[in-house]
Chains A and B, each alone.
Chain A
């Protein structure tokens, strides 16, 4: 049963490894937690899950593998014979035991056990305990803890007391983003290009020694400029509407990577690039910058990164006056072409999942405009973006 639990966790994508599984077994063996099903749940979670985003999946699997099995009589069959024996000793009278042992029929024992547990439940309805909980075997708690087991109950889970793992309190933490910021950072690091430029204020020790030696032992100091990353990025982000779901992730990603770049400038646009962009989305109607000025301000060696879902009405791209918010004299297409003509190294990162691209006409149109330099927001996508930007 532990094995199945472990397998299922892996199947649903919770990254558990054999090492953690062994740790759990070790913890159970060393009695790190009491033999109660709740304690086992917490122990297993602390051992196997290392990120709160997997908690919800863990809860589901736990409910699936353990709780369901605990509810149905199937669980009895999975109990090792020894524990079953003990359970039987507790529930059945000595005469009944003797009778069954005489027959030596496990099936009969099981049937009788189910029946008896059922009777006990009825007899003690309303009581909190209907069978002792002082078990000693690891499965003891599941076996006869009324909070853990319902044998032959008439089928409804709704009446069962809501267990920790059924409350699913961690649902919000599950972000099925396959891509961690760590991975993205590693990918973006490849963009770095170190150069030495600026004031020579660092002592170059090897060169100094060499020159001093060449100089017959008289000190000849060699200085050089500090090495730093010379990558400059101009970020144009789509905000509002359908992008609201993604924009937070994207901003966080780039602010985490800020240290990787020498300059990182960002501007916002809405749906498509037009004649004005802005820096602060709350003051977008008060403080805008002319796109023309942006294109003129930053030199050609900037890498241009668009981030947007490219999902809009086709009119917003090709028709003058097609913008949703204002009367634009020139279509968005013209502005996109101006930007891509100025900056040779550009890429469009699209947070919409790759499979959905075909379903939106405007994505195809933008792809044409940006010469197929559109990548999804996945690790593979970011790696391709890095290649395209170099």
Chain B
């Protein structure tokens, strides 16, 4: 039977067992929407801005390991989506983005709502396609799903001109795909794994450092088992939180620009470093030259060879899927002849205990004004540490990462690489769709939340019971912090005047709004939101201390051990 291109798109999504498509209709995708309307195998989620469609699909994927799918129209639909696509790309999140395009004959004619989609998105996708013939459509869709989810994952875009959605051809969905130019490695090299194991066993001051790759490869369990067997200290990057239980005693907290003293010092002073699914980026190791001043052997496991020895030279590279390599490492460890030196390890833990003794996350408590850190601590308490937490970008993001102890993977959903303000609320929506019934909080600030505030309307439409934790300090907090520390207290454009009444705003959208101004009301308000208003979206506007800063801090260009602590100021 002959199907139209639009029907084929729908059939492909059904074949891929897609549950939700996040999107926004427009001229170029009308035929696709028409077919979407006629089926009930998957649901469409109508957002209020294309950026939110991509963020929601992205968080749907992050919080569930299912692939996110979005559908937007040509021109402005695509350009609005670009921020979302770049966000997913920087954090290696598997997505399929379907975009409408003007009819083939109009391409290049500066047609209405035309944009060079493939050109604009090329630098921020894993791959993209322009479908020029309906006969290629099914195979292209299959390739998109395959590419997005294999190897180092990432967003893949399929651009479909409007005329292609009306052309007809036979539909056959390929069972599998093989591409001569794309053969991602899965298994790690056995010899390299053996070398790594020997280095680990010989280490006097070992350290394990893991990133988003562990989460993406669903290797949290393998990692936890391995690290417990070894008895080594471990740190997670911002993207890797939840890969190892944060409440475990071997966990040193997050590392990096706002990492703990114990994590950063152990990272700097270890003699063997096991890096897994992480990429030594600037926010994590600070200045690479300073990092290299201490000599250490580095083992690096990553699925992407280009992540290895990019910023820091490594001694034992292992290219492969993190989960597979960790399992192989565990097996080799079980049959190993030698063992770690318990004396050296005990001395190392002793040293770490000294660093821990600094209690670097301690902050000045107050009875008069709400400390933002306190809100996150209370959130952790009230939710029993078991919530999905989406965040926006800035100080609140760092406090959420520092004070909410994530024990499970895929619970902490944030834009780590691109640092996209506006990510939080649509991300929380995506989490709700992937995890119905789950407790979902969005930790945000009064600046970030306003970058996608329109999604309160989407939340109403789909009855999403998100709890928005707005840490409202009337400043672009992180910008203000840098201006205070590095720009002589000149707060250029970082003060937000004329804020809306968030309580009324939430109510206007049909939600529950609360404003909390006193520290003693924080706990009760959260409790009320998560119990009495369990099924409502609650906007909790916490009026917080305006001067609170995120510490510890490694200033840009400085080394990991050159932290500024709260007590230094």
A binds B: no
- Taking Cβ atoms with an 8 Å cutoff, the residues of A that contact B are none
